[in-house]
Structure formats: C-alpha cells, structure tokens
Structure 1
Amino acid sequence: MCGITGYKNFSNRDDLAQSLKNATKSLVKRGPDNNATFSQKSVGLGHTRLSILDTSSKANQPMTDKSGRYTLVFNGEIYNYRELAETLAVELVTTSDTEVLLYLLIQDGEACLKNLNGFFAFAFYDSEEETILIARDRMGIKPLNYYHHDDFFVFGSEMKALFNYPISKEIDPHALYWYLRLTYLPDDLSMISGVKKLLPGHFMRVSNTGVDVQHYWHIEDPILFNGNYDDAKSQTVKLLEQSVERRMISDVPLGSFLSGGTDSSAVVSMASKFDSNLHTFSIGYKDHSFFDETNYAELVAKTFNTNHTTFSLTNDDLLNCLESVLAYIDEPFADSSAIPTYILSSHVSKHIKVALSGDGADELFGGYYKHLAFQRSSEKTIANHLIRLSAPMLKHLPTSRSSKAGNLIRRLAKFADIMEMKPFEKYWHLASFNLKADHYLLNPPEKNTIESFKLKFESPDEKFELNDFLDIDLQMVLPGDMLTKVDLMSMANSLEVRVPFLDKEMVNFARSLPPHYKIDKNKRKTVLQDAFEHILPKELHHRSKKGFEVPMLSWMRNELNASLNEVLFDEEYLEEQQIFNTSQVMKLKKKLFSQNPEDVHTTIWSLYVFQKWYKNHLE
C-alpha cells in the first residue's frame, strides 16, 4: 500500500520537477517507510512506500528494470503474484509483487491486467516510447486522480498530490450537485473542474500525442449460476475462504477488523483457519449503547480463538478526531461514518500494518435497507397497500435518523414515495440523501445534464431488477463512498486494508446469483447469512443490522454549533463566495432547531464539510 504521483510534460515547463517532489511529500502518510522520485526526459514519477511484501530496500520504488528502459510506481497488492512470476523468463532479485508486475508489463503490456488478482493503481513508464501506462483495479479499491492540460498531464493517489502541480482550481458545479445529493462524488467526477478519476477496470496510455482511456473490464451481463441454493451457499463459503487465504500474504503483522456483523465475522472465521493467533479489533461506544455491537464481536473472537482488542470510545473521542479527519480529506466527502473508521484505523495501526475488512458484501449480496425496499416495493401485498394509503399522513409526521421511531417513519415515507415510480427512478430516490440539492446552489446544473448523468447507469434491458440495482452500487456507491472512506481513513493512519469480498472470483459469482438468493421476504444478504449460519455463533444469525450513526444532530445543536456559525452560517461570507443560495442555506439553521428537523443534519454536514475543504484548499 503506497502513494503514487507523476507527470508527463508536453511542453518545456520547468516547474514540474519541483512540483513532483512536493506532491510526493504530500502522500507520505500513505507510505511513511520510504519516498523517492524519478525523472527522465518528459516524465517524472513519485512514490511513498508502506512496506508490506519484501520490506528490504531492494523493493523500493520507483522500480526500474535491469535494462533501464522501464520504470514502475505501484500502489496496492497483487495476490497471485507468485503464480504469475512463474510465467516470466527473468531472474527476479526481490520477493515483491512490484517486481513481478514490472516484468509482466514489460512482457505482456496491458494484456496482463485481466490476469491480476488484487487491488492496484500504477503507472508504468517506457522511456524509449516516452509513454506512461496507468491502470486501476476492477472494483476501484485503490484511487487514481488525473488532470490533463495542453502543457502537461499529472496524476496522483489523492487530490492533495495534484494540488502541488500548476492546476486550475475551479469548482465543478455538476460535481457539487451530486456531492450534495449523495454525500460523495460518484463516477469519474471531481470537485475541481478538469480533474477526473480513472474509472475502475480502466487503463490509460499517456504519450506525446495525447491521452487515450480504455477499459479492460466493465460491468456486463454475468453467466448465470446453474446450481441450486445449497450449491450457492457452499460456493459462497468456498470462494470467501480462497479469497481470504490469498489476502493473508504479508511480511508484516496482519489482523482483521471485527464489527460483530455477518460480513466481518465471516472474514474472521476464514482467516482464523490460516492464522492460529489472528489479531482482531473492534470499537465500542460508551455513550451510544444502541450502536455498540462489541458483545457480538467478542463472541465471534471467542468462537474462533482470536487475539481480540476492543477500543471503547466516548462522544468526546469522536469529536476530538473531527479536525484530523477533515484536515486529511482533500476532496469533499460527507459520509460521517468516516469518523469512526478513522479512529479504528488509528488504534489498529499501532498494532498491525495490514487489516482485513468485510466491505463490499452489502453491495454484492443486497445488505442495505434500500435493497430490501426496492425488492418489496413492487409486491402486491396488504402491507404495501396500507403504506400507500397512509402516505399523505406519513409526510406530516416527524422523521429523523437520530431516533428509532423517527427513523422508522422516515423509511416508511421513503418507501411510500417509490411505490409509484419506475424501477430505474427508484434507484436514484433510494440512493439520494438530498433530493433537493439544487435548491442550495446559486447556479445549479441544467436538468438535462443531471438526467444525462443518470442515464450512464441505465440497464439496456427494459426490465430493471435487483441485480441491476446492485450493479449501479458496484459502479457508484462502492468506489465513490465505501472504498473511498476506507482508503482515506486507513491511509491517513498508514494502514493497509484488504477486502476479501471484492476478490474478482467472488464478484463474478455474486453477480451470477438470482435476486431471490440475495433478498427473501424481510431477509437481506440471504445466501451469505445462510451460508455461514452453522459457522458463526447462532446469536449473529438474523439479527438486525445496526451500523453506526454519528450523533450529528446533537453535535450541531451543541458542540459544533459555534463552528457551524463561523464556517457555514455566515451570510456575508456566503454572499462573497457566490456558490450557494444564501437564503436556502440559512433556512437550514432554523430547521436544525425546529421540532421536526427531519434529515437536515445530513445536508448541513455536507455543506459544512465542503466549506471546511474550501477554506483549507482553495482559499
């Protein structure tokens, strides 16, 4: 796990070499063990290293081959590198996957991408052709940002690297709209105009003639699973075991996150087979007992005899790390679960350098309430009929994520809304946190621009079902939100996180399963839960998913109120800034302290995070 950056000079600019050094230093938390740069002709490459495989200096990067022609900077891990090494006709001098990847690229070029099992973002330079081949893994586990100007091309693992190059820093209004609507930036959108994200499963070739982007893998119709339900359960366990085994390779201490939910518990059950002294970690919440699942985590740890550590947090612990989280975020990101993820990573990194996690299972197997809502919304049941009839009343009841009753009313109201919608529109309604994002913008994007973006994800088939819904999550929510959160918050603490559920074999298998294997009546992730029913403690089976809700509404009314008034609710500053609709933003302040705040804190948090980012990076 590392940080990479670099440039291609199309003119005779003399400022890019120094920019490269600064950009590389900005990524030091991604790789504190070593950092170095490489410059030759029109190209510069930078790398910061978190040593995981072959920790010797021989495996440092940028890594150049024996001929001196080719150089590689690489972020990630290739789990099948030993098997791939056997296809090479060269004597290797390290035991690293970096060297194997270098010579695979020399031997096969981009054709080798389809054979890689792992997560990665890399840049491969051919000095004779003066080209850079840049690629990103299939699921977008590792990030890659780039900016193409007439004079130069630059790239980096994080936006903070790009800020060190002479790029223009103008807000993209279309990206801002989707950020406010979703709380994260989807697809290839970036908050800075001209900056793009290389999409998962894509590669690009940068040469003197320009930039060419292509895909080597993309979402397409899978080969349908031809077994029965019991076969699917057996295959789920088998594939996860194989995936976890691949991800146990490490020359440094390795462990696993353990929340006590099915996903991380399943990972731990498999990992314990390969490490009799597996270290596991969970966080508990002293001030929020409803969300504290450490008793389940400790039960799993006891069952599989892991070396378990629980970090018990208070409300003050969450608040105290807030500035550190916002300081590291170099592009607006308003998923508040980043806060506990940061704290967990901070604690865990003091014990190990590599952690396994259960991320990705929800998007593959249908683990969210929105998946259940979508699946049930078209059913002709008495319950649905009653909800439809009560829709007008639900709109007038107080709703909030911050209380059990308010959250139930919120879900029912949203469910009632989607009943009359076409299936594809249901997705955007359920995926959105703020359906009126345009109200808060001074110059919102045109409606046809918004609709054109949505149509990028529409299934070519007229029938839009649960698997189509999950496919959009794989393309949008997973890389834009979940994986971005884990990458940013773990890398801020120099910790590598591996995600076994996103092994390419597991992804292909999960996508091949019929919808009713994933959601059955009120049960989500059905096949996954049933597959591990007799492996995990019985107390975990069929229990409700809690997750963790940061007490944002309470914070905004109390501890964060002064900061909100300074950073967001300053009418004079908003008018000078000329980005937001001042009157609409100020209405949020009144709503915050009303009897029925609804989900106002979600919108306020998105705006607050943006303003903090704006002040940190653009002013």
Structure 2
Amino acid sequence: MCGIYGSTLTYNESQVKDKLKRTAFRGPDKMGWQFYKQNNHQIIFGHNRLSIIDLDLRSDQPFTYHEYIHVVFNGEIYNFKSIKDTLEKKGYQFRTTSDTEVLCAAYLEYAQDCVEHLNGMFAFVIYDEKKQLFFGARDRLGQKPFYYYHDGKDFEFASQISSIQLHHDNLTVSERSISYYLAWGHIPDPLSIFNEVKKLKAGHTFTFDLNTCEFQSQPYWDIDYKNEKPFKGSYEDAKQELNEILKDAVSTRLFADVPVGVFLSGGIDSSLIAATATQTSTSKIKTFSVKFNEKGFDESQYAQKVANHLGTDHHIIECNNDEGIDLIENFCHYYDEPFSDSSAIPSMLLSKYTKKHVTVALSGDAGDESFLGYHRYNWTLKKSGIYKLPKSVRKLSATALSKMPNYKLKVISKALRYSDENDFYLSIMTGVDLSYIRTSYDYHDIDELKYLRHNHKNVVERISDFDTKTYLNWDINTKVDRATMAFSLEARSPFLDHRVVDFANALPTEFKMQDNNQKRILKDILYQSVPKQFFDRPKAGFTMPFERWFRADLKEYVLSELNDEALKSIPCIDIKKVQFMIEQHMDGSWNRYPLIWKLLVLKQWLNTNGKGLSVV
C-alpha cells in the first residue's frame, strides 16, 4: 500500500519532494522519485512506499523492468504468484518477489488486457518508453484512489488530490462539486473538489499519449446489472461455492511479509472474516475493535464474545470525545476533499491503534451491499408497494401526514410525493430534507442512475447494484482508504474480491434476503463456526455519538465554528435555513447532526484549502 504521483508538468526536485511529503503518511518506509527525458520534456514519477511484500530495497518504486517499462503502483495483486508462474513458463524472468514486477511483466505479455488477469486492489501508471505512452488502471470496485489533471497538453496524477494541488496555480474550486457534496456527503466520481481535477472511475483503464497529449479512459469491468448470468444451482450449492470463494479471498489477503490482523466489530461480516481467517491461518489471529463509552453505541462486548469463541488475540480501543476532537481538527489533512461520513472518525481511531500491532488489517466492508444487509433495503422493499397506489391518493395522504408533528410521519409524507421507488431511494441516499441547498446544479445527475432505473431486476437488487457502484465506491472505500492510510495501515476486504461480488450478484434474491432475514447465506456460513445466538440482536452501524456530542460536549465548538460569519463563507447554502436547522438540533426538536457534521467538514476544507481560490 502506497501513494503514487506523476506529472509531465515542469517541477524541480524540491517541489516534487514537497508533493510526496504531503502524503508521506501513505508510505513512510521509502520516498522515491525519478525524472525521465522525453523529446526535450521531463516526466516525473514519484512514490511513497509502505512495505508489505518483498521488503528489500530492490522492490522500491519507481520500478523499472526491461529498461523501458517504468511503473508506480499502489495496492496489492493477490493472485500475483499464479500470474508469475504462468509468465515464467512463457520465459519471463524475475529478480524480486514483489507483485510490482509481476505487474510489469503482465503488461508486456498481455498489454492493456493485463488488468483482466489481476485480482486485487490497485491504482497504477506504467510509462512505456517505446510506445511513448502512459497506461494506468484503477481496480474494479474502486478501493484505491486515482486523481488526475489533464489540460489538453499536460498530465498529472496522484493517489490524493493534495499532491496535485501543491505548487499548482491553475485550480478553481467547483461549485457543482460542493452542491453534490452537500447532497451526497461526498463528491461522486469522476468529479473532484477542483474543476480541473478528475477521478478515474473504478474498473477503468486509461492511456495518455505523450506525443499527441490525448487522454482516453475505458471500462474493463462492470457488475451484471442486466442479470444475464444468473446462478442456476441450489441454495446448498451456492452456500458451498461461496464458502470456498471466501476462504480463498481471505487466505490470499493474509499473505504479507509483515504482521496481519482483522477488524472485528462483532457483526456478521467481520465475524465471518475473522472466523475464516482463523481457519486458514497457521498462526494466532489478532483482532481489533472500538469501544464507545456512550450507552447505545458500544458494541465491543459482542466483538469480545466472538473473539473469545474463535480464540483470537483481541484488542479493544476506547474512543472518547477528546480524541474525537483532535481527529476532527485534522480531518481534512487526510481526507483532502470534503467527506462527511462521520464513521471516518472511529475508523481513524481504530486504524491509529491497530497500527501499533500490525501493518495489514482485514475488514468486513462490502458485505452489506452484495448480500442485502442494510436496513434501508428491507425498508425500501416494504414501502415500494405504495407506488402502486393512484397519485391522487398518495397526494392526499402526503398532505395529511405532513401536518403531523411526528418526524417519521413527515418522512413518509415526503416519500409519498416521489414518482416511484427509484426516486424514493435516491432521497434516502442524498437526504430527505435538502431545502437548505441553493444551487442551479442537479445533484441527482449521475451516470450511475442506469443501475437503478431499469427493469432487469427487482427493486432490492437494483438498489444493491446502485450502492455497489456509488455508496460503496464513493463513500465506504474512500473512508477506509484515508482512515487506514492516515496511519500507514493497509486495509484489505475479502468481500471486495470481484469473484465474491460477481457471485453474490448472480444469486437469487431469496438466497441473500428471505423475508426479514437479511444476509441469509452469509449467516448460514458463519453459523457453522460461531453460535447463532451471538448475533440475536438488531444490526448496528459503525457510528459516532455526534447527535449527543453536538448538543453537549461539542456544543460550543459547533456554535463557534458555524457562527453567522462562518456560514457566509460556505457556498450553496441558505444561511437562514441552516441557522434554523442548527437551532432545531440544539433544542432537541430534530436530529440535524448529519448536516452539522457536513458543514463542519466543508468549512474546515475551505479554510485550509480554499483561501484565494475562486469558486466557479
């Protein structure tokens, strides 16, 4: 796991070092850079290394293979040994034991189709001197970030946007991106906070021709949202096959030349990963969880129970509001775009203390998206029937419910006014009350709507696919990457193995969700190793007690950070509406913590990064 950087813009060595130092937390073991000459122009490749596989200096980057293939690579290729065996039989020779060298050889053998052979999480750029070409890719599910600047002539790329921003005087803040952020809580791909910088979409490759300066990107993978390859076997067949895929996904992710552990929340997903890890590893597994002191938020006892049963070396990390404030105040240094998932804070805390014991940690991320685990899936399925009612009936009901004082009834009132379940689900994901946003941009205008608005699958499968392409990529993967890399910790998720995602996508809905039994198939696999009664409790999210903190311990902090003068500096908001909503939160009449946190993060970013920049 590392940070990558490259550019055709002219920077001196000192400036390149500044850009690499800005994100040195991604790879503190070795900082390296190289200048290449091309037709009287310079090409820069830079790399911050977090040593995981082949710790020897021979695998430092930028890495050169066969003298004319140069690469900077962030991530892991889990099946690199099998690729290496195949390439060795074809005559390729290797001088390291790293996956980086295998990537270069795979490019020489398969050209741009090399990505089809890779199972992993990655973002990389290869400079092919003979072809005078940059070729790069981002992994299928978007676990590793990739930002780029292209002005029609020059090209610059990095793992984090702050490396591009530094010593760059041609950037403007995007009003469109701010409006999208206020709605979604993050900035959807391919947008970034700057108009001139984009994100390479997940599952895409790109080429940049150094002679013509032409940039092109294209997809190489997608989910089967049209349901063209459904699973045909029985439930028992599916359970057995999925179990084998998961075992391989876990065992390959346990391979490293550094200590490895597992994040264990005590829920279904992380418990299954921990159980599988104990079955496939020859050494004792270390597990890690977070403990909150606030009643209703602490689930560490459930993680401890699972750890005791599995016999892991378990570590519990306590989270309090004092440490939370410290992380909040430094938030945008690591999440160097506005990002408002508040679970990033406990994720950072978990990573900070986990790093003291291991350098790699397996997580249970992506189990909910692929196996229908979120409460909102069941809720949407149950509420979708209301859209079969005549519009006139729904309109009358909505009017009546809107006059009720109850918050939930007001939400149902809004739901009745949507045209169908697709718009209803969009409102869940972007927020039911966005009346405070002032913008001319349509923040629902995203390419990924095609995964939601079609008739190839039922509603719950459509929203699952939509979340895989949006929420998982834009939110969860961003949160985990930044939170772990902030403390030089590599996170690996077996559920993000594309074989697991493809297999889950092909399964009949009832294999994953039967009546109210969500994640049915995962639970049945887990219960072979851990007693079912351990999980007889409501599903809980990984959240912070911000609702309470913002009314108590952090009340003065919120009111000072979001005072009248501060709100004037935030684009795209109705100040009076926001002031009213903050008052609602403080007097306890409405839970507005998501809005407050969203504005705190945006204001911090603007104060740190937006001074002197135009918002257009």
Distance 1:556-1:253 versus aligned 2 partners, 3 A rule: same
Partner of 2:437 in structure 1?
A: 440
Identify which of 581, 591, 594 aligns with 2:574: 581
Task: Determine if contact 1:354/1:498 at 8 Å carries over to the other structure.
Answer: yes
Residues 1:357 and 2:363 aligned together: yes
Distance 1:144 1:346 in 2: 24
TM, length-normalised to structure 1: 0.90
Distance 1:31 1:330 in 2: 16
Task: Determine if contact 1:533/1:541 at 8 Å carries over to the other structure.
Answer: no
Identity of aligned residues (%): 33
Partner of 2:83 in structure 1?
A: 84
Shift of 1:352: 0.2
Compare 258-267 and 20-29 and name the one that shifted more.
20-29
Partner of 2:319 in structure 1?
A: 313
Task: Determine if contact 2:449/2:466 at 8 Å carries over to the other structure.
Answer: no
Letter in 2 for 1:115: H
Distance 1:298 1:193 in 2: 47
Task: Determine if contact 1:16/1:165 at 8 Å carries over to the other structure.
Answer: no
Identify which of 323, 328, 331 aligns with 2:329: 323
Partner of 1:44 in structure 2?
A: 44
Task: Determine if contact 1:282/1:297 at 8 Å carries over to the other structure.
Answer: yes
Distance 2:44 2:108 in 1: 19
Distance 1:61 1:414 in 2: 55
- Point out where structure 2 has 5 or more consecutive residues left out of the alignment: 388-392, 612-616
Distance 1:16 1:364 in 2: 46
Residues 1:607 and 2:613 aligned together: no
Cα deviation digits, residues 507-559 of structure 1 (max 9, x gap) = 11000012222222222212212232232222234421112332223332344
Distance 2:573 2:424 in 1: 28
Cα deviation digits, residues 554-589 of structure 1 (max 9, x gap) = 332344334334433233x54466553332332233
Cα deviation digits, residues 206-229 of structure 1 (max 9, x gap) = 113210111111233341011122
Identify which of 463, 471, 486 aligns with 1:469: 463
Partner of 1:524 in structure 2?
A: 518
For 1:16-415, what aligned pairs fall within 5 Å after superposition?
A: 18-41=14-37, 42-65=42-65, 67-88=66-87, 89-207=91-209, 208-209=211-212, 210-220=214-224, 221-222=226-227, 223-275=229-281, 276-286=283-293, 288-379=294-385, 392-393=400-401, 396-399=404-407, 409=408, 413-414=411-412
Letter in 1 for 2:504: A
Partner of 1:406 in structure 2?
A: none
Letter in 2 for 1:431: M
Shift of 1:23: 1.5
Shift of 1:54: 0.5
Distance 1:249 1:391 in 2: 58
Distance 1:136 1:167 in 2: 27
Distance 1:592-1:380 versus aligned 2 partners, 3 A rule: closer
Distance 1:570-1:355 versus aligned 2 partners, 3 A rule: same
Task: Determine if contact 1:395/1:413 at 8 Å carries over to the other structure.
Answer: no
Shift of 1:308: 1.0
Letter in 1 for 2:204: H
Partner of 2:476 in structure 1?
A: 482
TM, length-normalised to structure 2: 0.90
Shift of 1:455: 4.0
Distance 1:576-1:68 versus aligned 2 partners, 3 A rule: same
Distance 2:424 2:571 in 1: 33
Partner of 1:570 in structure 2?
A: 564
- Point out where structure 1 has 5 or more consecutive residues left out of the alignment: 400-408
Letter in 1 for 2:574: N
Task: Tell me the secondary structure at the aligned position of residue 279 of structure 2.
Answer: coil
Letter in 2 for 1:556: F
Partner of 1:403 in structure 2?
A: none
Letter in 2 for 1:602: P
Letter in 2 for 1:23: K
Distance 2:419 2:536 in 1: 30
Partner of 1:618 in structure 2?
A: 610
Partner of 2:583 in structure 1?
A: 590
Distance 1:462-1:283 versus aligned 2 partners, 3 A rule: closer
Shift of 1:22: 1.9
Task: Tell me the secondary structure at the aligned position of residue 33 of structure 2.
Answer: strand
Compare 389-398 and 17-26 and name the one that shifted more.
389-398
Distance 1:378 1:576 in 2: 40
Letter in 1 for 2:468: L
Distance 1:510 1:578 in 2: 41
Shift of 1:611: 0.6
Task: Determine if contact 1:244/1:271 at 8 Å carries over to the other structure.
Answer: yes
CA RMSD of aligned residues (A): 2.5
Distance 2:327 2:474 in 1: 23
Distance 1:452-1:305 versus aligned 2 partners, 3 A rule: closer
Task: Determine if contact 1:120/1:136 at 8 Å carries over to the other structure.
Answer: yes
Distance 1:466 1:296 in 2: 29
Count of residue pairs the alignment pairs up: 593
Letter in 1 for 2:271: S
Task: Determine if contact 2:297/2:545 at 8 Å carries over to the other structure.
Answer: no
